Chain A
Amino acid sequence: MMNTRHWMALAIVAVLVAAMVVACSRGDSENRLVVTGSSTVAPLVSVIAKRYEAKHPGVRIDVQMGGSSRGLADARRGLADIGMMSRGLKAGENDVEAVAIARDGICLIVHKDNPVEGLTDEQLVAIYKGEIANWKDVGGADAPITVVNKAEGRSTLELFVAHFDLENPQIKAHVVVGDNEQGIQTVAGNPNSIGYVSIGTAEYDATHGVAIKLLAVGGVTPSVENVKLGKFPLSRPLNLVTAGETTPLADDFIAFARSQAVHDLVEKQYFVPIAP
């Protein structure tokens, strides 16, 4: 008796699981958008997507992180309806269409207790190449510099090395980090370190009690304000990219992500809205 009942229960569970799998894979593709890519853009697009979903009941937008290169690759291969990229398009990437939804800057950060307020480009390059290894050589305390670099393939790294005319193999790093938050935690935990992260994240954390300080680049104070005015040298567009034919839903969502209706969300993430 018991035995039959067990088999029955098992069969019911199996049928339920099968039904769920079918239901999930069937999802109504006309009301569903898949957006993948840059971990800098993803948090912004997530909140924009939530607002869009609230305005358009029945629409579902999946936002997945994975870096700008993946956003581009997914859009090209049709794995995603929209790709997110935290950099401009390079030569050879003209097959996709990019629409900027905001701008972001990259800034250098040091520990809050570091007396150094700013560095010239030459000093910075020398520090990252390991030619200057002590803070006293650039006006700081007598302490060895801990250079924090980003892992290969991140667009923050690409923009940084391109701006300072460096090659990644030349950089003598002491710590290599993945995302912005890990970079900030590393610098906050080591009084003699220097690293670079997205201004948006850094400004937010610095004003919320994390022990970091933003350094001036080329004499310009790093702030969202200066990125907005176009004064800050190290800045980049946050793009949504699409390849080939797009669905009306994707077009509508991209237009929404650029519109006035989401500027407050962009600013809340410490990015700079693009004036329509």
Chain B
Amino acid sequence: MSPSHRDRALGWVLRATAALVAAIVVLIVAFLVVESAGVLRKLGPLRFLTDPSWHPTSGSFDLTAMLLGSLLVTVGAVVLATPAGVASALFCRYYAPAPLAKLYGRMIEVLAGIPSVIYGMWGLMVLVPLIGKWQPPGPSLLAAVLILTLMILPTIALFSDAALAKVPDRYVRGAAALGLTRWATLRGVVLPAARSGLFTGVLLGMGRAIGETMAVLMVCGNVVQTPGSLFDPIRPLTANIALEMGYALGDHRSALFVSGLVLMGMVVVLVGTAELVSRGRLHG
């Protein structure tokens, strides 16, 4: 094959792969819509927001408490993990001595690779009893937030590190020439320059937090309610689907697909907002 042929072939292979990925997203959404259409038509979408509670086998389908649960754990984890992740990347790149930075970087990578069920087991055996001793019952919004924070911290740290690495060296040298202190350089020059990369890291962390199921299910208590405090148990939408899917039939099953659809909608809204925010910030 001549180079130009090869190029053309590669172009088609790449187009086909891209089309495949796009088709998968469309198919998943279509599948969710089809599976939930029955119950949506039968009960109407409003029932999922106005019913008194979530007791699908007794014909009550309220999703708002679980929607709130998903939002709270995600926001909580992102709020805690973002400063910690960025700080860890700053430490690694600008403060730690080279051998320590290398070791630390590897450890963060290992942390990122730990399967979520391991975090869940640790949470169930160690964290939950600890919280339980302090503020019973133990499985709670707080436990879920802490576990999720641990899980998305490495994601945010690794992306922040990559973003910091991309800041041109001359910026830092220029700042040094101006006589700025290390902290002033970081705050005034490096962080603003790395903003879009840092933002991507936070966004990916947030995506992982929303979608995380197993670890959260093991520590959040799974009670469907609007939490009154950090120590109340909650149930996010993902945990709801995982807990009940294998056991659900008829309307109950379709209602779980509706919660999947809602979850998907939530991700779309978040990605959309993030896109808007980043556009405003980065190009404004």
Measured CA separation A174–B143 after assembly (Å): 14
Residues of A contacting B246 in the complex (Cβ-Cβ under 8 angstroms): 39, 65-67, 70
B225 nearest CB across to chain A (Å): 9
Q: A153-B247, A189-B129, A190-B136 are in contact. Are A175 and B53 (CB under 8 A)?
A: no
Whether B136 pairs with A152 at a CB distance below 8 angstroms is: no
Q: Does A242 make an interface contact (CB < 8 A)?
A: no
Proximity string of chain A (139-171) to chain B, C-beta cutoff 8 Å, 1 when within and 0 when not: 000011010000111100000000000011100
B119 nearest CB across to chain A (Å): 15
Q: Does A46 make an interface contact (CB < 8 A)?
A: no
Whether A174 pairs with B223 at a CB distance below 8 angstroms is: yes
Q: Does B137 make an interface contact (CB < 8 A)?
A: yes
Whether B252 pairs with A175 at a CB distance below 8 angstroms is: no
**Of B53, B233, B243, the contact of A174 (CB 8 Å cutoff):** B233
Q: Does B128 make an interface contact (CB < 8 A)?
A: yes
Whether A69 pairs with B249 at a CB distance below 8 angstroms is: yes
Please name the residue on chain B nearest to A147 by beta carbon. B137
Whether A185 pairs with B233 at a CB distance below 8 angstroms is: no
B188 nearest CB across to chain A (Å): 48
Q: Does A239 make an interface contact (CB < 8 A)?
A: no
Residues of A contacting B132 in the complex (Cβ-Cβ under 8 angstroms): 146, 189-190
- Interface-facing stretch out of B16-24, B39-47, B54-62, B172-180: B54-62
Q: Does B218 make an interface contact (CB < 8 A)?
A: yes
Measured CA separation A3–B6 after assembly (Å): 10
Residues of A contacting B222 in the complex (Cβ-Cβ under 8 angstroms): 151, 175-178
Residues of B contacting A146 in the complex (Cβ-Cβ under 8 angstroms): 132, 136-138
Measured CA separation A152–B53 after assembly (Å): 13
Measured CA separation A168–B252 after assembly (Å): 15
Q: Does A73 make an interface contact (CB < 8 A)?
A: yes
B84 nearest CB across to chain A (Å): 27
Please name the residue on chain A nearest to B124 by beta carbon. A185
**Of A176, A185, A186, the contact of B243 (CB 8 Å cutoff):** A176
Whether B244 pairs with A169 at a CB distance below 8 angstroms is: no
Measured CA separation A175–B249 after assembly (Å): 23
**Of B6, B53, B124, the contact of A186 (CB 8 Å cutoff):** B124
Residues of A contacting B218 in the complex (Cβ-Cβ under 8 angstroms): 182
Q: Does A192 make an interface contact (CB < 8 A)?
A: yes
Residues of A contacting B6 in the complex (Cβ-Cβ under 8 angstroms): 3
Residues of A contacting B1 in the complex (Cβ-Cβ under 8 angstroms): 3
Q: Say which size band chain B's interface belongs to.
A: 20 to 34
Please name the residue on chain A nearest to B252 by beta carbon. A153
Q: Does A119 make an interface contact (CB < 8 A)?
A: no
Whether B60 pairs with A176 at a CB distance below 8 angstroms is: no
Measured CA separation A39–B245 after assembly (Å): 13
Whether A169 pairs with B247 at a CB distance below 8 angstroms is: no
**Of B129, B223, B247, the contact of A152 (CB 8 Å cutoff):** B247
Whether A192 pairs with B136 at a CB distance below 8 angstroms is: yes
* Chain A, 52-103, CB within 8 A of any chain B CB: 65-70, 73
Whether B233 pairs with A66 at a CB distance below 8 angstroms is: no
Measured CA separation A73–B246 after assembly (Å): 11
Q: Does A193 make an interface contact (CB < 8 A)?
A: yes
A270 nearest CB across to chain B (Å): 23
Q: Does B260 make an interface contact (CB < 8 A)?
A: no
Proximity string of chain B (225-247) to chain A, C-beta cutoff 8 Å, 1 when within and 0 when not: 00000000101000000111011
Q: A65-B246, A69-B249, A154-B247 are in contact. Are A175 and B233 (CB under 8 A)?
A: yes
Q: Does A206 make an interface contact (CB < 8 A)?
A: no
* Chain B, 27-75, CB within 8 A of any chain A CB: 53, 55-58, 60
Q: Does A138 make an interface contact (CB < 8 A)?
A: no
Residues of B contacting A193 in the complex (Cβ-Cβ under 8 angstroms): 137
Please name the residue on chain A nearest to B129 by beta carbon. A189
Measured CA separation A146–B53 after assembly (Å): 21
Residues of B contacting A176 in the complex (Cβ-Cβ under 8 angstroms): 221-224, 233, 235, 243
Whether A69 pairs with B247 at a CB distance below 8 angstroms is: yes
Whether B247 pairs with A174 at a CB distance below 8 angstroms is: no
Q: Does B139 make an interface contact (CB < 8 A)?
A: yes
Proximity string of chain A (182-200) to chain B, C-beta cutoff 8 Å, 1 when within and 0 when not: 1001100110110000000
Q: Does B217 make an interface contact (CB < 8 A)?
A: yes
16 further contact pairs, Cβ within 8 A, besides A70-B249, A152-B55: A144-B136, A146-B137, A152-B57, A152-B248, A153-B244, A168-B55, A168-B57, A169-B53, A169-B60, A174-B223, A175-B137, A175-B221, A176-B235, A182-B124, A185-B125, A186-B139
- 14 of the cross-chain contacts (CB-CB < 8 Å) are A65-B246, A70-B247, A143-B136, A152-B56, A152-B247, A152-B252, A153-B56, A169-B55, A175-B139, A175-B221, A175-B233, A176-B233, A182-B218, A190-B136
3 residue pairs, one from A and one from B, having the closest CB atoms? A153-B247, A67-B247, A176-B222
